Amino acid sequence: MLQHVSIPIRTECPPGACVCEREVLLADPDADLRPLRLTRAEEQRLLERIDAVASYDELRRLQDRIRANLGVELRIVPGPNEVRTLRGILIVLEDRPGLCKKVRQSVPAAVRKVLDRHPEITYAILDAHGLFGGS
């Protein structure tokens, strides 16, 4: 039996198009429904907010807000190999039941665009992970 939800939640994707396990999440009365709160309209607002990021501190605050509001971790770290280009930075939105596959692709793509536009943010990420002797 699916639980009744009083908050607006994301509409389900067409069958076979996504593996978000929405029904499994709705069937569990103790499940964390925060990922389902990211409706298509909220996804657009999130992507616009990501696009407006202009500093490393703003990006960190955005990561904190995503963690608090959706219960999902947005990881942005240097890759395991040498980082020669922006492609060497790993950007992953944690896979969680209820989080649409499209969102797991669009959020990292939006972050990558920001890093491309603001290389100083990329340098700050590398410095934060010890490349330039940072903490």
On whether the CB atoms of residues 17 and 105 are closer than 8 A, the answer is: no
Cβ-contact 76, 63 below 8 angstroms? yes
The C-alpha R_g of the chain, in whole angstroms, comes to 17
Residue 132 confidence (pLDDT): 54
Give dist(CA 130, CA 134) in Å, integer: 5
The helix (run of H) or strand (run of E) holding residue 91 is strand 89-93
Per-residue pLDDT reduced to its tens digit, 58-115: 999 999 999 999 999 999 988 777 666 667 789 999 988 888 888 999 999 999 999 9
For the segment 1-23, the average pLDDT, to the nearest whole number, is 71
For residue range 28-46, list pLDDT tens digits in order: 888 888 888 888 999 999 9
- Provide the token pair at 52: 């407006």
Question: Residue 1's pLDDT is what?
Answer: 45
Q: Which residue has the tokens 């703003």?
A: 58
